[in-house]
């Protein structure tokens, strides 16, 4: 028997080679094969099931996470998986756990900030998970401003130890994942004090729990910080708090690659350039951008498939109603998000290249591109995560009422995704960092300093300040050069305008604070330009597969023109684009939607998500939505009995008019 496929007709409409698109999306044939294998491995393993996750109590959810983590480690050993395979397998398990922090933050912190000796001591234990570590930086009262941390590490020359202490309530470590219940160790950030002086924030490795029985060590108060957004979602993680009461650690537990404290208590800085530490930040943020395309693709896949299944209104002569994906209102909300998924994918790919490039340069002591690279990764992290968070919720709304059910997968996807907007740099704070570099770049133009990389267009600012858009017909908006110039003009003029306003302030910092929300908008414009330009660059490469390039061109244009429509005020304010040209862009956008429509389901098939990974009744590959919704409903805990618990105490007395005497 043929497997059921309610979406077969949709799939037959595609005018491109879906299998080739899958490889483009994955990045390479190798990446596709590997991730396909891992996805199916996870999907077929009952220990990794997650369809009941939102119904578990906090304790059961946490225990389930511990079990999945152990099982993933076990499978990695049994199947002799590579590091890459193991990470990919874990990403398909799709449940935040202490292991993410152990692998993603604790180990890299030691690798980046430990001396060779320290690395030899700690890393083998960490790799083997003989110790489990977390990354304890954020405090109850201190997040973005790392320099404001209050935990102290005071050197005691008499015993050759540091005394770690939490002097105030607000100095309690707060939020670190894996800290609450699982970790035995932590990299802890604390203010170094020695010889009566404060040397700012340094990192220390500190044991928190006994390796014998897991109980907290003396002087350590540690626990879970409580419930977080949503059901399931990040509640699988033991984000924790941690307080120190004069805890003593050995001097060699300070991570000393960059700074040291000598036996005598003298603070010394090594000749390792501090900038090297930025490399890690670029790497982490590149991963976040890449993951944003992944989260967004899941939401878009669910909403697109369901929009093709769902029908509403428009029935003629008793025939079926219209698929909601045919409505322009649905298309104008959904297709820009579909296009964004692809745009962010390619931006992530490019960032990966950038990371390799900057790593090479740093090794050769070339720090010249670092500020620009920093701005670029900070900015892309900010705008891709903000856009993805909003997009997941928009996709949920696009699924109508049923999107509100947990089994749609979208509520949990939203709840688990949104911390991306806050961690690894609050998105607004990051945009202000971008703006700072933009203002510096504009200020240096006068001195003849040529901007590099993604800020290179600012070198053509004189041209950009004068040019006028040449669009006369809607289809003129399909030219990459036209789009690129429009985005460059917008970004350049917004930066220049901010710089001009700033120059009117006697104190530049006051000015920066005063116009900071304009600066944020200028930074957004700059970052959107980067994404548009990287998408266009991608399309200048050779792209194999029937029709694949055409589809990507359509999506690139949808991405750019929908942004233009959304931020029309920016574009019109520059004077480069007229209202008529803006209206033509909108007209072209409508035509593009018609081109995307028949390919929409296949464009989300190309993400190659398994039903397990999507975790959505509405996004099922086979489109058999209604039967599965009905089956899922029966699993509700409230359906264990016909008459609900509480009926006799709280409903029956009402019905029988005995409420006045009822004991509640």
**Of 94, 89, 91, which is closest to residue 79 (Cα–Cα)?**
89
d(CA 495, CA 445) in angstroms, rounded, equals: 12
- Among positions 554-613, residues that touch a second copy (CB under 8 A) are 565, 567-575, 579, 582-583, 586, 590
Min dist CB 197 to a second copy, Å, is: 14
Judged by CB under 8 A, the stretch of 7-15, 21-29, 230-238, 596-604 that binds a second copy is 230-238
User: Contact 523/439 with Cβ under 8 angstroms?
Assistant: no
Contact 596, 331 (CB under 8 A): yes
CA distances (Å), 277 to each of 111, 198, 257, 273, 274, in order? Answer: 10, 21, 10, 8, 6
Q: Which helix (H) or strand (E) holds 309?
A: helix 276-309
Q: What phi, psi does 641 have (nearest 5°)?
A: -135, 155
Residues 43-102 contacting a second copy, CB under 8 A:
47, 54-55, 57-59, 62-63, 66-67, 69-71, 73-74, 77-78
Q: How far is the CB of 645 from a second copy (least distance, A)?
A: 5
Site string for a second copy, 334-353 (x = CB under 8 A): --------------------
- 208 neighbors 107 (Cβ within 8 angstroms): no
421 scored as a contact of a second copy (CB under 8 A): yes
- Distance set, CA 114 to CA 234, 279, 285, 635 (Å): 30, 15, 21, 50
Cα–Cα distances (Å) from 468 to 284, 488, 606, 626, in that order, read: 39, 12, 38, 53
636 touches a second copy (CB under 8 A): yes
Contact with a second copy (CB under 8 A) among 20, 514, 611, 622: 514
Q: How far is it, in rounded angstroms, from Cα 594 to Cα 634?
A: 39
| Pairing assessment for the beta strands 247-250 and 161-165 based on DSSP bridges | antiparallel
What DSSP element (H or E) covers 285? helix 276-309
Contact between 232 and 180 (Cβ < 8 Å): no
By CB under 8 A, name the one of 516, 547, 550, 611 that touches a second copy.
516
Which residue's CB is nearer to a second copy, number 32 or number 327?
327
Count the site residues for a second copy by CB under 8 A: 139
Q: Is 162 helix (H, G, I), strand (E, B) or coil?
A: strand
> Binder to a second copy among 1, 2, 80, 145 (CB under 8 A)?
145
DSSP character at residue 504: T
The answer to whether the CB of 613 falls within 8 A of the CB of 298 is yes
Contact string 303-332 vs a second copy (x = CB under 8 A): --------xxx-x-----x-----xxx-xx
What is the DSSP secondary structure assignment for residue 4, as one 8-state letter? P
Shorter beta-carbon distance to a second copy: residue 85 or 514: 514
424 assigned to active site: yes
- 645 in contact with a second copy (CB under 8 A): yes
Q: Which residues pair with 244 in a beta bridge?
A: 220
Quick note: the x/- pattern for a second copy over 196-225, rule CB under 8 A, is: ---------------x-xxxx------xxx
Question: Shortest gap between Cβ of 171 and a second copy (angstroms)?
Answer: 10
Q: Could you say which DSSP state residue 449 is in?
A: P
The one segment of 150-158, 297-305, 373-381, 645-653 that binds a second copy by CB under 8 A: 645-653
Contact 655, 342 (CB under 8 A): no
Among residues 126 and 347, whose Cβ is nearest to a second copy?
126
DSSP codes of every residue in 198-221: EEEEEEEEEE-B-TTT-PBPTTEE
> Considering beta carbons, is residue 202 or 331 the nearer one to a second copy?
331
Please identify, using beta-carbon distances, which residue of 280 and 501 lies nearer to a second copy: 501
Report how far apart, in Å, the C-alpha atoms of 392 and of each of 302, 401, 542 are. 10, 15, 32
Binding test (CB under 8 A) with a second copy, winner from 42, 380, 432, 530: 432
Q: Report the nearest approach of a second copy to the CB of residue 476 (Å).
A: 18
Q: Which of 3, 401, 448, 504 binds a second copy (CB under 8 A)?
A: 401
Give, as one character, the DSSP assignment of residue 471. Answer: -
409 sits near a second copy (criterion: CB under 8 A): no
Site string for a second copy, 101-140 (x = CB under 8 A): ---------------------------xxxxx-----x-x
Q: How far is the CB of 56 from a second copy (least distance, A)?
A: 9
Among the residue ranges 156-164, 252-260, 421-429, 439-447, the one whose residues contact a second copy (CB under 8 A): 421-429
In which element (H, E) is residue 154 found?
A: strand 152-156
According to CB under 8 A, which one of 371, 411, 425, 480 is a site residue for a second copy? Answer: 411
Q: Which is nearer to a second copy, 124 or 544 (CB)?
A: 124
Q: Does 517 bind a second copy (CB under 8 A)?
A: yes
Q: Who contacts 647 (Cβ-Cβ below 8 Å, separation ≥6)?
A: none
Provide, rounded to whole angstroms, the least separation between the CB of residue 402 and a second copy. 8
List the catalytic residue out of 139, 150, 291, 424.
Answer: 424
Subset of 268-307 contacting a second copy (CB under 8 A): none
Are the CB atoms for 452 and 368 separated by under 8 Å?
yes
Considering the complex, state which of residue 275 and residue 586 has its C-beta at the smaller distance from a second copy: 586
CA gap 81, 174 in Å, rounded: 34
Site string for a second copy, 9-48 (x = CB under 8 A): --------------------------------------x-
Active-site residues, by number, are: 424
């Amino acid at each position: 028997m043929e497997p059921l496929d309610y979406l077969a007709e949709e799939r037959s409409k595609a005018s491109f080679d879906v299998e080739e698109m899958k490889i483009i999306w994955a990045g390479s044939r190798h990446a596709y094969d590997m991730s396909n294998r891992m996805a199916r491995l996870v999907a077929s393993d009952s220990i990794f099931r997650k369809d009941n996750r939102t119904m578990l109590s906090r304790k059961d959810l946490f225990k389930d996470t511990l079990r999945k983590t152990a099982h993933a480690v076990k499978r990695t050993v049994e199947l002799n998986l590579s590091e890459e395979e193991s990470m990919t397998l874990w990403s398909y398990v799709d449940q935040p756990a202490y292991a993410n922090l152990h692998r993603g933050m604790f180990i890299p912190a030691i690798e980046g900030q430990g001396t060779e000796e320290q690395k030899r001591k700690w890393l083998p234990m960490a790799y083997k998970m003989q110790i489990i570590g977390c990354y304890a930086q954020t405090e109850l009262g201190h997040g973005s401003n790392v320099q404001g941390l209050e935990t102290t590490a005071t050197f005691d020359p008499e015993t050759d130890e540091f005394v770690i202490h939490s002097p105030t309530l607000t100095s309690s470590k707060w939020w670190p994942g894996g800290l609450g219940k699982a970790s035995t160790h932590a990299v802890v950030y604390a203010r170094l004090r020695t010889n009566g002086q404060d040397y700012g924030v340094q990192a220390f490795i500190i044991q928190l729990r006994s390796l014998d029985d897991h109980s907290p060590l003396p002087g350590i108060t540690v626990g879970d910080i409580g419930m977080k957004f949503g059901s399931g979602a990040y509640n699988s993680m033991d984000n924790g708090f941690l307080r120190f009461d004069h805890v003593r650690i050995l001097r060699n537990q300070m991570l000393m690659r960059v700074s040291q404290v000598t036996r005598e208590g003298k603070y010394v800085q090594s000749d390792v350039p501090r900038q090297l530490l930025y490399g890690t930040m670029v790497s982490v943020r590149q991963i976040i951008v890449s993951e944003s395309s992944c989260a967004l693709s899941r939401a878009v896949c669910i909403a697109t498939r369901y929009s093709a299944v769902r029908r509403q209104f428009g029935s003629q002569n008793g025939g079926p109603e219209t698929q909601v994906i045919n409505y322009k209102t649905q298309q104008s909300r959904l297709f820009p998000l579909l296009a964004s998924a692809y745009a962010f994918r390619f931006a992530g790919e490019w960032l990966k290249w950038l990371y390799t490039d900057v790593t090479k340069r740093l090794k050769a002591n070339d720090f010249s591109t670092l500020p620009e690279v920093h701005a670029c990764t900070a900015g892309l992290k900010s705008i891709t995560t903000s856009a993805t968070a909003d997009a997941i919720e928009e996709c949920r709304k696009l699924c109508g009422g049923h999107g509100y059910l947990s089994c749609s997968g979208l509520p949990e996807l939203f709840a688990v995704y949104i911390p991306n907007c806050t961690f690894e740099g609050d998105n607004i704070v990051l945009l202000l960092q971008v703006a700072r570099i933009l203002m510096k770049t504009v200020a240096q133009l006068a001195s003849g300093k040529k901007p590099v990389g993604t800020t290179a267009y600012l070198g053509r600012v004189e041209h950009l300040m004068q040019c006028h858009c040449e669009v006369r017909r809607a289809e003129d908006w399909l030219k990459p050069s036209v789009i690129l110039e429009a985005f460059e003009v917008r970004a350049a003029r917004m930066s220049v305008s901010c710089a001009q306003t700033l120059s009117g302030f006697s104190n530049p910092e006051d000015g920066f604070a005063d116009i900071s929300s304009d600066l944020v908008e200028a930074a957004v414009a700059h970052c959107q330009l980067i994404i548009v330009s990287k998408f266009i660059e991608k399309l200048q490469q050779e792209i194999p597969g029937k029709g694949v390039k055409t589809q990507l061109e359509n999506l690139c244009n949808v991405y750019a023109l929908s942004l233009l429509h959304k931020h029309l005020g920016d574009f019109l304010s520059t004077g480069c684009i007229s209202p008529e040209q803006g209206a033509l862009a909108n007209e072209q956008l409508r035509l593009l939607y018609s081109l995307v429509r028949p390919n929409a389901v296949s464009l989300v098939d190309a993400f190659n998500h398994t039903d397990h990974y999507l975790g959505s009744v509405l996004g099922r590959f086979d489109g058999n939505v209604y039967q599965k919704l009905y089956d899922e409903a029966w699993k509700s805990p409230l359906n264990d009995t016909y008459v609900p618990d509480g009926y006799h105490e709280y409903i029956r007395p009402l019905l029988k008019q005995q409420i006045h005497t009822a004991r509640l």
